[in-house]
């Protein structure tokens, strides 16, 4: 008798849980629907999410997002790790998932100084390539990758992070071997490979001077030379107190005034303590893990959750003022557990930078973002 009663309770309890979670997800608002009159809502996705081995990912993506970026899937070291060897399994899956679900894809990224194999810049004897040979390598890469996805990938981050903090051109192998016009060349090759794709310049900290002025100059120079550039991606790896809202607001207008689309392409908010004087998004930065630098290892207190929610609301209150300039807001990840900010710039921390928690449940920040358009 007793066991039957327990079984009955378990059964009805479980049924109730299913009904509750179904009802919740039914009534839970959708991010992409909330902002459908403003801009696309994107997510950067990792291997498990692309391949569907992380089973919840596809449900959440379909419900909340209408734009996709591969977190790593299309970077040079993944797609073209050895001379003449291209690996398209992951990027093909991403693109076909996006096609099946009517999502906008941004190929990230064609030219960058990180996550690019050494061989790209060297001949078989290990000597630096000449300008012409490196241009030929770049052209082959862009033609092969962009060509494969012609008409399927709607946009490309053609060049990533070409500027230093002081606004000068970053000292990379691309600059050293090809010279100042390597950026133009990359854009020209991309346009030749797919004339209909949108082409972007993508970088971090371009909301604030002096880097912002250089980014503005770079874009206007390309345009003046007749080179096709359709947009600028502001990465948006933010902190609770950096950058100040006024800089975000005026950067949107300044880039918009050049006649290019503005996108926030890698949005997240790092709520953990910063190493001293640290602001950028340079992936090679690495500082020591000390306990005081990892204060929320056992969970996020309400006060911090509210701070994050308020910061997101402040930012979205700016974004929604510019539906004619901003075309897309992409988060760098779907949920907190997958974020690179758990390991950067300090390895092994527990961070909470996104709108969904480690179980793909919407956080307070999710609702504060949605509420900016529900007022």
- The contact set with ligand GLA (CB under 6 A) reads 108, 160, 204, 235, 266, 281, 283, 340
338 neighbors 331 (Cβ within 8 angstroms): no
Q: Facing residues of 336 across strands?
A: none
Rg (CA), the chain: 22
Q: Which residues pair with 30 in a beta bridge?
A: none
Mark whether 292 is an active-site residue: no
* Burial (0-12, 13-18, 19+ Cβ within 10 Å), 346: buried
Q: Please indicate whether residue 161 is annotated as part of the active site.
A: yes
Q: Which of 71, 161, 188, 207 is flagged as catalytic?
A: 161
C-alpha 247/C-alpha 156 separation (Å) is: 26
* DSSP letter assigned to residue 195: T
Instruction: Provide the angle, in degrees to the nearest 10, between the axes of the packed helices 245-256 and 302-319.
Output: 30
Distances (CA, A) of 123 to 15, 83, 89, 98, 317: 64, 10, 27, 37, 51
To ligand GLA, the closest distance from the beta carbon of 22 in angstroms equals 34
CA dist 275 and 19 (Å) reads 46
Greatest pairwise CA separation for the chain in angstroms? 84
Comparing every residue's Cβ against ligand GLA, the nearest one is 340
Assess contact for 56 and 329: CB atoms under 8 A.
no
User: Of 303, 319, 314, 315, which Cα lies nearest the Cα of 352?
Assistant: 303
In terms of phi and psi (left: phi > 0; alpha: psi -120 to 50; beta: otherwise), the region of 247 is alpha
In the complex with ligand GLA, the residue whose CB is nearer, 54 or 266, is 266
Backbone angles phi, psi at 295, to 5 degrees: -70, -20
Q: Which helix (H) or strand (E) holds 311?
A: helix 302-319
Q: What distance in Å separates the CA atoms of residue 19 and residue 88, rounded to the nearest whole number?
A: 41
State the Cα torsion 298-304-310-316 to the nearest 10°: -40
Catalytic residue among 77, 184, 266, 276: 266
Question: CA 311, 31, 308: angle at the middle one, nearest 5?
Answer: 15
The two three-digit tokens of residue 6, written as one number: 């327990």
Q: Please give the positions annotated as active site.
A: 161, 266
């Amino acid at each position: 008798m007793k066991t039957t009663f327990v079984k009955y309770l378990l059964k009805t309890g479980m049924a109730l849980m299913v009904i509750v979670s179904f009802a919740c997800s039914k009534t839970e608002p959708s991010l992409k629907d909330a902002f459908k009159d403003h801009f696309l809502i994107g997510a950067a996705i990792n291997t498990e999410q692309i391949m569907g081995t992380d089973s919840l990912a596809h449900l959440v993506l379909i419900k909340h997002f209408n734009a996709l970026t591969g977190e790593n899937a299309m970077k040079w070291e993944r797609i073209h790790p050895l001379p003449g060897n291209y690996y398209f399994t992951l990027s093909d899956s991403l693109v076909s998932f996006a096609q099946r679900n009517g999502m906008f894809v941004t190929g990230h990224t064609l030219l960058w100084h990180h996550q690019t194999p050494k061989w790209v810049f060297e001949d078989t004897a290990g000597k630096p390539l000449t300008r012409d040979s490196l241009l030929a390598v770049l052209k082959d890469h862009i033609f092969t990758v962009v060509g494969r996805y012609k008409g399927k990938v709607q946009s490309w981050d053609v060049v990533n992070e070409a500027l230093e903090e002081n606004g000068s051109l970053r000292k990379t192998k691309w600059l050293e071997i090809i010279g100042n016009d390597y950026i133009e060349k990359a854009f020209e090759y991309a346009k030749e490979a797919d004339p209909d794709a949108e082409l972007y310049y993508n970088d971090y900290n371009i909301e604030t001077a002096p880097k912002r002025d250089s980014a503005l100059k770079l874009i206007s120079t390309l345009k003046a030379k007749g080179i096709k550039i359709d947009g600028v991606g502001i990465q948006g790896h933010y902190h609770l107190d950096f950058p100040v809202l006024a800089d975000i607001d005026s950067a949107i207008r300044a880039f918009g005034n050049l006649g290019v689309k503005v996108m926030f392409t890698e949005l997240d908010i790092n709520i953990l303590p910063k190493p001293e004087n640290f602001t950028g998004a340079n992936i090679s930065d690495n500082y020591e893990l000390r306990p005081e630098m990892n204060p929320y290892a056992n969970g996020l207190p309400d006060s911090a959750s509210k701070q994050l929610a308020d910061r997101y609301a402040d930012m979205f209150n700016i974004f929604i003022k510019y539906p004619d300039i901003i075309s897309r807001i992409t988060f760098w990840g779907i949920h907190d557990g997958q974020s690179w900010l758990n390991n950067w710039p300090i390895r092994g921390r527990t961070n909470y930078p996104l709108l969904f928690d480690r179980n793909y449940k919407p956080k307070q920040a999710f609702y504060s973002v949605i509420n900016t358009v529900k007022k």
